[in-house]
């Protein structure tokens, strides 16, 4: 009986997980991580060549680049306290196509532009949770 109950609970959990809204189109995204290349190779040329080859594949709709894989490592972790609570803010650099490529929905504001990315403008997108915590019930923007 215990095995039957555990099996039913496992099945129910598996069904619920398939219906979870991750905030992006997880079923159509493939993340690939590249290891650093040998120092004597031109990193930019290799990256441009690799991106062109991936874009040329018939089943590929969009390609985007981030410094670290989504929801993985980050470029920087800033720790701070606000309202008596401690927070970690993780940042990652991405190109202008990243949000549309992974299907992330932007609830307010807009995505980064190619010009902002090229000149490393001091702009950011934050999660709904960060906006809620630091907006103090008002408009975080």
Listed residue (101, 22, 115) closest to 54, CA to CA: 101
Read off the pLDDT of residues 35-94 as tens digits, 9 standing for 90 and up: 666 666 677 777 788 888 888 988 888 888 887 776 666 667 778 777 777 777 777 778
Q: Which of the four pLDDT bands, split at 50, 70 and 90, describes residue 1?
A: confident
DSSP for 13-63 reads: HHHHHHT---SS-GGG------PPPPTTS-HHHHHHHHHHHHHTSTT----
> Is the full-model pTM beyond 0.85?
no
Res. 140: pLDDT tops 70? no
């Amino acid at each position: 009986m215990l095995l039957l109950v555990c099996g039913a609970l496992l099945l129910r959990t598996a069904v619920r997980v398939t219906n979870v809204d991750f905030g992006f189109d997880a079923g159509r995204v493939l993340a690939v991580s590249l290891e650093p290349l040998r120092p004597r190779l031109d990193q930019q040329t290799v990256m441009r060549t690799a991106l062109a080859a991936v874009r040329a594949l018939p089943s590929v709709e969009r390609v985007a680049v981030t410094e670290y894989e989504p929801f993985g490592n980050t470029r920087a972790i800033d720790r701070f306290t606000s309202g008596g609570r401690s927070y970690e803010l993780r940042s990652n650099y991405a190109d202008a196509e990243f949000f549309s490529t992974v299907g992330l929905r932007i609830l307010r504001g807009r995505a980064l532009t190619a010009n902002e990315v090229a000149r490393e403008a001091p702009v950011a997108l934050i999660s709904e949770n960060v906006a809620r915590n630091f907006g103090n019930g008002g408009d975080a923007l």
